[in-house]
Amino acid sequence: MTLVVGLGISGRAICRHLSRREIPYMVADTRSAPPGLDDFHAAHPGVEIYCGPLTGLDLSRVEEVVLSPGIDPATPGLAELAGRTRVATGEPLVVGEIALFVRATRAPIAAITGSNAKSTVTTLLGEMAHEAGRRVAVGGNLGTPALDLLHDTPDADFYVLELSSFQLETTPRLGAESAIFLNLSEDHLDRHRTMASYRAAKLGIFRGARHAVVNAEEPMTWPDTRLPAQDRFTTLAPEPGEWGIGRHAGETWLMHGSEPLMPAGEVLLQGRHNQANALAALAAGHHLGLPLPAMRRVLGRFAGLPHRCEWIAEIDGVIWINDTKGTNVGATLAAIRGIGPTLRGRLILLAGGVGKGADFAPLATAVRDYVRTALLFGLDAERLASVLSGAVETHCVEDLAAAMAWAQSLAEPGDCVLLSPACASFDQFANYQERGDHFRRWVLARQTGAEA
């Protein structure tokens, strides 16, 4: 009997997968009444469901435990299973959805992880493959759960998967054809406890990989063991074999070593950090055999995902960018350092919310270099101000609406108003999407007024 723990989106995908393969299973959820329980009973009649603390669950009949990503393997009732193996196969007793995916597919996998930008690179690589005429399926932590991709696109040439640290820590061996580790910054320490443990979970992307793409400027993204092939990307002039940004014919170009690939100005994504994301996708696409012309066409039209350095409008010479997905310090650093150097003017930074105990100190240098004024709102506005006030002019305001109104009065032609909060949103919004939608509506209403 297989035990599925967690009845969220991924947990239900696990159950659909096991049902299709006629593998007997039961389900457990730590909540006393998980949402959608009646719908689950209707879709899976006869499946036993246990709700409540896992310490009360009888595991004597369980041959394997499959965790949803949101379930911590250290949860009471599961922690004692760590290190145990299945009698029949010698594999770990506790695994996650991606372990089932790896068992079930023979198609190559391109996998992407990182603290930030993994959704952008995942989507970008999938678009490149599609443009090149490949039958590709894209999902994982982004969009469609990986196990549903198997059912929806069983004949895919390859799968492009965004993978979180939660998914990777329960994947014994991924065996990716290309494994991309973009960056690493403080996040999810409520789950992983230390940066070392967080990094160790992320490094699971390289287990069994045939090719790695890593950040030349962040050694923490480099694998601890030697792989058959490896590419590095950088925002600097590339060393031989690296993917970077250099000068060619008097312009800034994306480069592969000394080979010019395309002018950086033709990449529609905004900011130097997004040019780095483009290079990571190019490196993986090159390994996967995607032709450069197809990849260039995608880079020339792909404007990015909603809420991730999303260009909203230019009003009276001022650009407004929605990076509400910047919910941690690393993401906001990337946005400031990526967009700041591309401007004629300066940044007006809108930041704040729930900092989750993060250390804001790394923001100070980037803010000093590129930001004119930081307008801070939400629960941790004062804590942000205490860190940034020595580097830049700061003002604490009541909410995002007040920050936007003040930004409009301060911004000059050539400036950019950047919403990149470095914080979670749930003090004033339901989620980061609602925060970004609020920003977008406000800006577009002002644009309409300016055009009238």
> Per residue in 25-82, pLDDT tens?
999 999 999 998 999 999 999 999 999 999 999 888 899 999 999 999 999 999 889 8
CA distances from 418 to 112, 306, 383, 391 (A): 26, 14, 19, 17
| Higher pLDDT, residue 330 or 296 | 296
Please write the tens of the pLDDT for every residue from 230-288. 999 999 999 999 999 999 999 999 999 999 999 999 999 989 999 999 999 999 999 99
Interacting residues of 101 by C-beta distance below 8 A, sequence separation 6+: 146, 147, 149, 150, 161
Which residue bears the tokens 């594999």? Answer: 91
User: Looking at 17, 116, 118, 256, which residue is catalytic?
Assistant: 118
| Higher pLDDT, residue 402 or 192 | 402
Cα distance between residue 386 and residue 392, in whole Å: 11
CA distances from 337 to 26, 110, 255, 332, 418 (A): 48, 28, 20, 8, 12
List the structure tokens of 391: 């580097």
Phi-psi region of 357 (alpha: psi -120 to 50; beta: other; left: phi over 0): left
Per-residue confidence band for 212, with pLDDT thresholds at 50, 70 and 90: very high
Cα distance between residue 213 and residue 440, in whole Å: 34
Per-residue confidence band for 451, with pLDDT thresholds at 50, 70 and 90: low
User: Looking at 188, 248, 356, 395, which residue is catalytic?
Assistant: 188
- Residue 450's pLDDT is 67
Please write the tens of the pLDDT for every residue from 399-423. 999 999 999 999 999 999 999 999 9
Averaged pLDDT, 99-127: 97
Please write the tens of the pLDDT for every residue from 377-401. 999 999 999 999 999 999 999 999 9
Per-residue confidence band for 83, with pLDDT thresholds at 50, 70 and 90: confident
List the structure tokens of 269: 């994504």
User: Whole-model pTM above 0.75?
Assistant: yes
For the cut 90, the answer to whether the pLDDT of residue 185 exceeds it is no
Please write the tens of the pLDDT for every residue from 272-286. 999 999 999 999 999
- Residue 186's pLDDT is 79
For the cut 80, the answer to whether the pLDDT of residue 329 exceeds it is yes
| Element of type H or E holding 43 | helix 37-43
| Element of type H or E holding 333 | helix 329-339
Residue-range domain boundaries for the chain: 2-96, 105-301, 310-451
For the cut 80, the answer to whether the pLDDT of residue 171 exceeds it is yes
For the cut 50, the answer to whether the pLDDT of residue 216 exceeds it is yes
Averaged pLDDT, 430-450: 93
Interacting residues of 267 by C-beta distance below 8 A, sequence separation 6+: 254, 274, 275, 278, 299, 300
| Element of type H or E holding 157 | none
User: Looking at 116, 141, 183, 215, which residue is catalytic?
Assistant: 141
Please provide the DSSP assignment of 186-232 as one string.
S--HHHH-SHHHHHHHHGGGGTT-S-EEEETT-GGGS-SS--S-EEE
Phi/psi for 127 (5° steps) reads -65, -40
- Residue 114's pLDDT is 96
Cα distance between residue 414 and residue 281, in whole Å: 30
The answer to whether residues 70 and 9 touch, using CB atoms and an 8 Å cutoff, is: no
CATH of the structural domain 2-96, one choice from 3.40.640.10, 3.40.50.2300, 3.30.750.24, 3.40.50.720: 3.40.50.720
- Catalytic residue at 286? no
Q: For residue 238, what is the DSSP state?
A: P
- Residue 87's pLDDT is 78
| Higher pLDDT, residue 174 or 80 | 174
CATH superfamily of 105-301: Mur-like, catalytic domain (3.40.1190.10)
What is 310-451's CATH number?
Answer: 3.90.190.20
For the cut 90, the answer to whether the pLDDT of residue 374 exceeds it is yes
% pLDDT > 90, the chain: 89
- Catalytic residue at 141? yes
For the cut 60, the answer to whether the pLDDT of residue 452 exceeds it is no
- Catalytic residue at 188? yes
Q: One-letter amino acid identity for 131?
A: E
Phi/psi for 116 (5° steps) reads -140, 155
